[in-house]
Amino acid sequence: MSYKILFNGNETISPEEISNCIEKFGDSYTKAVTKIIRSTNSLDLNIDIFIKNSAILLNSFGMARSGPFQGIKYDHGKVGGSKRKLKACWDAINRDLLFVRKLLDEQNLRPRSRALVQLEKDSRTEVVSYIWSAFKKLLPITMGNYSYGLVGASKILFSVFPEIALPVDNSMWLNVFKTVDFGDVIHTMADEIIAWEKITGKQLQTCDYSENTTLPAVYNVMAMEARPKSK
């Protein structure tokens, strides 16, 4: 299989280069991801955590300025603006989310930062199938006048499962993964991380020196780096 995120052709991207990309990526992203990882460390999941984490991430990526989530704010630990859309998202997918949380809790994966690759293949397939189901249910709600909702749905799922899901932006959907199947994206991410670690002998999350990280958080930085550069 040809990998594009952690590999340059047949060669692995070095751990040092990955660390440099993370370091220069920006404080806004790092702070937002740190907040959602910390708030999900307790493994609790309810509507308040869902709305708070979604608001944090949507604001971090500038998705509350326009579109279906326009006006949602997050400031000093509080969510402002209309929460109607986020409540609709929770109503649509909370059963899938709670079931995934239960599956992951039963696995007792440690460290949590490596949960994605610690899942046995059958367990990963089951977890991803429920996340893919939730993703499809989100699309009618996250869809805007100029988007199909793919970006918003992926970011919302990352905000509650930062150890499994990937926040995929438009350019990544179109030019990097070239699919609309979120399940395929997660499986590809896991397989590529496993392949990279086997060759380098390193654990990918160790490329991120911050206190709170996950494999998808690191992989996302490199996926954004892999997007075609604007001329």
Per DSSP, the residues of 187-205 read HHHHHHHHHHHHHH-S-GG
3-state secondary structure of 45: coil
Q: Does 141 fall in a domain? A: yes
In a domain, 167, yes or no: yes
Whether residue 157 lies inside any domain: the answer is: yes
Q: Is residue 80 part of a domain?
A: yes
Instruction: Please tell me the distance from the alpha carbon of residue 218 to that of residue 21, in angstroms, as a whole number.
Output: 9
159 part of a folded domain: yes
Q: Please tell me the predicted confidence (pLDDT) of residue 31.
A: 86
Q: Is residue 2 part of a domain?
A: no
In tens, the pLDDT along 69-93 reads 999 998 878 898 889 999 999 999 9
107: tokens are 């696995």
Going residue by residue through the chain, which has 231 residues, state the pLDDT in tens, using 9 for 90 and above.
579 999 999 999 999 999 999 988 877 778 889 999 998 887 789 999 999 999 999 998 888 888 889 999 988 788 988 899 999 999 999 999 999 999 999 988 889 999 999 999 999 999 999 999 999 999 999 987 667 899 999 999 999 999 999 999 988 998 899 999 999 999 999 999 999 999 999 999 999 988 889 999 999 999 999 888 754
- At 188, list the tokens: 């590809």
**Is 69 a member of any domain?**
yes
Distances (CA, A) of 159 to 4, 45, 61: 24, 11, 12
**What's the CA gap between 96 and 157, in Å, rounded?**
11
Which pLDDT does position 91 carry in this prediction? 97
Which pLDDT belongs to residue 150? 93
Q: Is residue 1 part of a domain?
A: no
pLDDT for the residue numbered 53: 94
- pLDDT at residue 26, as a whole number: 74
**Strands, DSSP E only, in the chain?**
7-8, 11-12, 73-75, 78-80
Q: Which residue intervals of 61-177 are DSSP H helices?
A: 84-107, 115-118, 121-142, 150-160, 170-171
As a whole number of angstroms, the distance between CA 47 and CA 50 comes to: 5
- Domain with 81, as residue range(s), is 13-225
Number of domains in the chain: 1
The residue type of 72 is I
- Looking at residue 213, its pLDDT comes to 94
Contact of 23 with 198, CB cutoff 8 Å: no
**pLDDT value of residue 210:** 85
